[in-house]
Structure 1
Amino acid sequence: MKLPGVCGLVLALGVSMPAIAENIYTYRGDGGEILFTDKPRAKVDASYTLLSVRKGWNYTPTTLSAARRDRYDTVIARAADDFGVEPALVKAVIHAESLFDRTAVSRVGAQGLMQLMPRTARYLEVADPFDASANIHGGTRFLAYLQNKFSTLDQVLAAYNAGEGNVRRYGGIPPFPETQAYVKKVKQLRLRYQLQLAKEDAVASR
C-alpha cells in the first residue's frame, strides 16, 4: 500500500529514530508495523493508529567544554586500537549520539555514550551500558563489525543509525531525512576531530 506523501520511514521496533526538523508522527499499522513520518493524521491512511507526536529537533551546533569533549579520549584511543577503527570516527559518533553524556537514554531505550540498544549491548557483551569504557568498547566493536559489512563510510554510518537491513534494502543511505542528517553530521564531526587529534599528536611529538 502506498501512502501519499509519506516519508517511507517504516521501521522495525527498536530502531533508534532521533527527530528531525519537522514534527515526527509515530503510527502503528494493522499488521503491527511502525511508521515514522512527518505527515499528520489527516494525510495518513486511516488504518494506521497514531501512537505519539515528537516535536521537531535538529542537529544544531552545540558548544562543549574541552573537559567534556575530551574526557574519554584515552578510552576512545584504546578501543579504536583494539578494533581497528579510526579514533576520530568513534569520537564523532559519541558526539552525535549523546554529546558525551554517559547516562543518556533515548526515547526508544538506546543507552549510554554510543546509544546502544539493550539487545545490541547484550550481543556486544556490554554488561553495563552506562559504564563509559564498556559502552565505548562495545560501540567501537559494532562500528568495526559494520566496517566489515559495508564498503563506504556513508553505509557504515547509515547502518549504525537505521540498521543494516535498511542500508541493504535501499543500496546505500536510506531515504530517511533523519538518517541522511545523521550521516552528514557525523562526517562533519569526524573531520573536526581528525584535525584536533592531528594537532595533539604534533604537539606531543615536539
Structure 2
Amino acid sequence: MKIGTIHTLRSFPSLVHINLLLGKGKTDCILTCDLWLIYDPVFTEYEKKFLIENGFNLIDVNEKGAKSVTTRTLFFMPHCPLPMYNNLLWANWLPNNLNQIVLLGTSFNSLVNSFISSDQQAEYSYLIGITESKLIDEFKLDPPRDIYEAFNDLSVHFFTRINDDDEYTNLLSIANCDPKKKPIYSDDIFSKEMFIN
C-alpha cells in the first residue's frame, strides 16, 4: 500500500479510522485483523515510529505491489501506479490465491478503459485479463465530498475462486500471459510519481 507521507496526506485521519474500525484483535469492529502491513518509500523515521506504535507493521522492502497471499487479505491501494495493481495480480495468479484478495483501489474498469493505451496492453495483461474475465466483482464507492479528492474513482474488488484447471487455463488465455515471468514495463514507472487520480 502506498499512502505518502503522513504530514502531507489529507486522508491520513481516514486511514487511522480504518485501523480503528478494522482493529487488531478487537471483537467490536467491522472486520477483525490480526496483522496490518504497510509500506511507502517516503515514510520518515518519525512516521514509521508513529505507525508501529499504532498497530501497523512495516514492510522492509519495496515489493512494488507483488505481495503474494494465501489467506484472505484486504489491500488498501487507492490511486497506485498501474504496475502495482498488475504486479499484485501477477503475484497471486494461482487458482487458490486470487480469491484471497479483497482490493480497495482505483476501479479496474476505469484503469483498463481510460489509462492503458493499445501499445501497453502486453505490459498490463493481468489487469486486462482479470477485468475481461468473469472472475472479478467490482463495487464502485461513492466517497463523501470532504474526502472525494483522495478517494475518487475507487472500487472494492472481489475475486472469484477458480474451481478447475479448465477455468484457470481459460484465464491464462484471456490474459495472454505467462505467470512464471515477472511483468516488465517499458517505462520505469516506479521511479516517477505517476499516480492515478
TM-score normalised by structure 2 residue count: 0.23
Q: TM-score, normalised by structure 1?
A: 0.23
Higher share in helix: 1
Q: Which has more strand, going by share of residues?
A: 2
